[in-house]
Amino acid sequence: MGRIVHKVVKMILLVGFIYNTTALKAQDEQKLNHRNGIEISTGFSYLIYQSGYGFKGSQGVEVLVSKLLGNNYKAETGFRTTLSPFLPEVFVRGVVYNNFERWQPAIGLETGITKRTDFESSSNLLKESREAMLKDIGYLYLSTHVEVLSFNLKRKLNISLLEFDIGTHYKHFGRTLRAQTTLIRIRKTF
Question: pTM for this structure?
Answer: 0.73
Q: What's residue 155's pLDDT?
A: 80
> pLDDT tens digit string along 97-156?
998 989 999 999 999 998 766 656 555 555 665 555 556 677 899 999 999 999 999 888
Going by their DSSP bridges, the two strands 177-189 and 157-169 should be labelled as antiparallel
- Residue pair 108/93 in contact by the 8 Å Cβ criterion: yes
Distance CA 39, CA 147 (A): 16
Q: How far is CA 62 from CA 59, 80, 81, 186, in A?
A: 10, 4, 7, 11
To the nearest whole number, what is the mean pLDDT of the chain? Answer: 80
In this structure, the number of other CB atoms found within 10 A of the CB of residue 36 comes to: 8
Distance CA 58, CA 88 (A): 12
